[in-house]
Chain A
């Protein structure tokens, strides 16, 4: 069954003995994140901190296993637990292809309205925002849905931009021009000297959280796609201090406005690629106008920087389990023949692998060009194209393709050396190159590259799936753990 709220999702984890309750008091000041990092590193249960200054925190609730990063995301969608990645991707794509319009409920039916605080009652510091890494610029809310409307239409964007808490009423929000919500702010609201009304919904139901990290085309209703993922309409409720609607089952909602031409410090931060990037920079200011929340709210957070190498966290798992299927669908919708588009499993966002049956030079260039100018513009530096029978989530297979089939002479394609935009969330540019630019992007431009690691028919396997299947049966009979074996049956599409 699809989880209809974060609480329901956590209950499901607990039923599966996959939740670790810590009832002893725990500090938001590095202690909760230290325990969570430990759990992430050990690939163990999800820690729920039940007493953190009177509220609750949950650390990396959607982290998947190292071998199957999509596991807990699938659980949140009520999908079977033993799906292969191909099956999982296709099921998510199927749901995204069946969007369902949201419904609006009254305040009395919205758990996120259990407590309503506006005006002088608003105090962000009433809540235990975690201080995640020593060296971070401050305390963060970094696992939430930022809801912001277009200035010129009915479109409302849902996205995922971390916010650094400054005091009881303000926070700085990481807005990097080039992404949808930041563009609305920098090139519409700020240019008209208008504040952008926003809501930050924290502890939302799984389908909403997953949709927030997907690149939903401009103009499309994100709540409909969340409804598609959920399999039923998302319930929304109106905000108290602006006209936005927010998911009714959210644990906590911060209402406010991102004001024009005002900036506050943001960062440094231990970020998704596993390093603490700096320096501290200026980001737009969020002024809070209201806070509503459930009784005893649960605030989820992500220990960024741990989703690299052999360790997963919520961001890295959502990159595989949410962004991957969404990107695959997007490329297919754009007319590209793509088997699967998935991130390099051990470092989210910087590299994607695309399995495609075509190795035509012009086609691959066009495909890379399409992505680099759309959703892959700011964070993604590399695309690797591999044969359709290569599993993009199997790093061994992708590295092999890269080593054996990508000819340095003709298969590495750079889009110039210093021509393309980049976010300052990187470690290969100096602070001077990054600058502190008003729109959040780096001052210095950078390069993007794609790598053609398709085989051109040289040295590819001539698989006989029946023989492989029989061989795997023999191994299973001999006692090999069947989890190790894919059992791909051409007649059944997998076991």
Chain B
């Protein structure tokens, strides 16, 4: 089981959480501190003293910019929050998410939710961080609602319009599935598993309303029932009420969440009847629109897992080693490492990826031995291995616009680009330039001699002298 509180505890234990004891207001100050922390690769941040009902946490599912470190990876905090081994490989994270296993939740939703109703607290009293226009923000949570006895959890982004009204963006297909009106709960302060499962259920190629089932397939999340709806029992905050799809309402103010760029969206309003919290509640949020935010990390992994599953099930063989949508590129670039099955396969692969995702219009194709943990070398190969004229391939200009980039947001068509940084399959073996590495640059004799002389050359002292 991996709850938000457990994740915070693990971050604390690994010195990857910085508690802010100073009183920080939930007005734009909290969001600006969170934005600076994520932008500059700081630890996750827990605001211990805010004027509202809840404490705030940010960066709990995100991670550092991978250019800054070979040893720390952007997906580590997410993997930990999903209950995976935090040191597991990138491929393991993606393969596990790609499996999209649904597990039965029967029997588990019988428990009581940990949050209990509060009196005399409204949406503003919760103390959620606010956007530039002063509206309290909802960023990392899900909407729980039921149709025909099936509970679903839906990704949300929105604001509190008034004391008792939320305006939320949800995936269009989810709004269609739920119908014009339904009883619903918004749950905040949840772990990563329900957030990821909601993205998998509603923003991908396959729609799976049984998001609690997807959640159970990823990890062990205890569930409870509220007014016939299944909710994560450990959620720190639950807002119960009724939702109405409003097809004429403007979108909530503020930057979009990353998932909104991967699917069509609809706007719903939710009238609030009841707010329930746990003792000393904590709500995770992310400063939307900033670099390296948690929502980017979650969508990056979910989209990569979807693409990995689809391309490796498409041609009867599984040539792709890994796929990444680097959070550093804000999902505007896709990197794929693959065996090149035949001349022209790289074209086929890149254009298949364009077909399967609307997020990006740039694909970098690397050889199958590329290392997913070495983003710097991957991008280096783009510059030095691909011929600047022949291997930067632009499509004719009638491709749909991608959603992650900031240009052509009016939907105007244009070109796509893929960069082929693989070795030409026509080349003789002798043309292939070996990489300069310790392994390739020195004979076994030299390496063995170095090992034998390690102590007398003081190499322990040398390699351990890195304090920079």
Q: Which A residues contact B (CB, under 8 angstroms)?
A: 17, 20, 22, 24, 26, 30-31, 33-35, 37-39, 41-45, 47, 65, 67-68, 71, 132-135, 270-271, 273-278, 304-306, 308-310, 344-347, 350-351, 381-382, 394-397, 399-400, 402-405, 407-410, 412, 414, 416-418, 426-431, 446-449, 455-456, 458-459, 467-468, 470-472, 474-475, 477-480, 484-486
Contacts and interface: CB of A to CB of B under 8 A. Distances in A.
Contact of A448 (B68, B386, B388, B447): B388
A347 B383 contact: yes
Interface in B215-237: none
A273 B362 contact: no
Contacts of B361: 408
A309 B376 contact: yes
A303 B332 CA distance: 35
B405 A275 contact: no
Nearest to B31: A471
Interface residues of B, number: 90
Given A30-B442, A382-B388, A428-B386, A38 B463 contact: yes
Nearest to A37: B438
B280 to A, nearest CB: 19
Nearest to A41: B438
A480 B42 contact: yes
Nearest to A45: B465
A480 B465 contact: no
Contact of A42 (B436, B447, B466): B466
Given A45-B465, A306-B436, A417-B389, A475 B384 contact: no
A22 B458 contact: yes
22 contacts: A34-B450, A35-B459, A35-B462, A134-B440, A275-B384, A276-B433, A305-B436, A309-B374, A310-B69, A347-B380, A396-B67, A403-B331, A404-B330, A405-B405, A407-B414, A412-B417, A417-B390, A428-B387, A428-B388, A430-B427, A475-B33, A484-B41
B414 A409 contact: yes
A298 to B, nearest CB: 18
Interface in B154-201: none
B28 A467 contact: yes
B380 A404 contact: no
Nearest to A49: B457
A273 B380 contact: yes
Nearest to B395: A408
B462 A44 contact: yes
A414 B391 CA distance: 12
Given A351-B383, A478-B22, A399 B32 contact: no
B326 interface: yes
Contact of A471 (B36, B406, B450, B453): B36
Given A468-B32, A484-B40, A34 B447 contact: yes
Interface string B426-442: 01000101111010111
Contact of B328 (A400, A410, A412, A478): A400
Contacts of A400: 291, 328-330, 332
Interface stretch (B13-21, B263-271, B311-319): B13-21
B379 interface: yes
Nearest to A411: B407
Nearest to B417: A408
B44 to A, nearest CB: 11
Report which residue of B36, B333, B377 has the largest number of chain A beta carbons within 10 angstroms of its beta carbon.
Answer: B36
Contacts of A20: 458, 461-462, 465
Contacts of B32: 467-468, 470-471
Contacts of B462: 20, 35, 38-39, 42, 44-45, 47
Say whether chain B's binding surface is mostly helix, strand, loop, or mixed.
Answer: loop
Contacts of A486: 40
Nearest to A459: B406
Nearest to A474: B33
A137 to B, nearest CB: 14
A404 B13 CA distance: 36
B408 interface: yes
A35 B450 CA distance: 8
Contacts of A458: 406-407, 409
A478 B18 CA distance: 7
B10 interface: no
Interface string B244-264: 000000000000000000000
Given A400-B328, A403-B330, A471 B29 contact: yes
A441 B355 CA distance: 41
A44 B463 CA distance: 6
Contacts of A472: 36, 40
Contacts of A405: 405-407
A346 B67 contact: yes
B464 interface: yes
Interface of B: 18-22, 24, 28-29, 32-33, 35-37, 40-43, 45, 65, 67-70, 291-292, 326, 328-333, 360-362, 374, 376-377, 379-380, 383-392, 394-395, 397, 404-409, 414-417, 427, 431, 433-436, 438, 440-443, 446-447, 449-450, 453, 456-459, 461-466, 468
Given A30-B446, A135-B441, A427-B384, 17 more contacts: A17-B465, A20-B458, A20-B461, A22-B458, A31-B450, A42-B463, A270-B436, A275-B435, A310-B70, A310-B376, A395-B328, A395-B376, A404-B329, A405-B405, A414-B392, A428-B384, A477-B20
A17 B462 CA distance: 11
Nearest to A478: B20
B457 A26 contact: yes
B383 A344 contact: yes
User: What 10 A-B pairs have minimum CB-CB distances, sorted nearest first?
Assistant: A305-B436, A447-B389, A403-B332, A409-B414, A403-B329, A459-B406, A408-B417, A417-B389, A275-B433, A427-B433
A116 B89 CA distance: 59
B455 to A, nearest CB: 10
A90 to B, nearest CB: 22
A409 B407 CA distance: 10
A309 B404 CA distance: 26
Contacts of B380: 273-274, 308-309, 344, 346-347
B205 to A, nearest CB: 23
B318 to A, nearest CB: 27
B18 A479 contact: yes
Given A22-B457, A403-B333, A273 B384 contact: yes
Contacts of A309: 70, 374, 376-377, 380
B291 A446 contact: no
B263 to A, nearest CB: 19
B40 A408 contact: no
A134 B441 contact: yes
A304 B392 CA distance: 27
A144 to B, nearest CB: 21
A317 to B, nearest CB: 13
B328 A399 contact: yes
A479 B416 CA distance: 45
Nearest to A448: B388
Contacts of B333: 399, 402-403
B434 A276 contact: yes
A440 B468 CA distance: 40
A67 B463 CA distance: 17
A388 to B, nearest CB: 17
A133 B407 contact: no
Given A134-B442, A395-B379, A396-B65, A428 B330 contact: no
B362 A485 contact: no
A133 B35 CA distance: 45
A414 B384 CA distance: 16
Contacts of B449: 31
Given A305-B436, A381-B383, A34 B442 contact: yes
Given A30-B443, A485-B36, A67 B392 contact: no
A41 B32 CA distance: 36
A44 B466 contact: yes
Contact of A449 (B292, B388, B456, B461): B388
A82 B55 CA distance: 36
B383 to A, nearest CB: 5
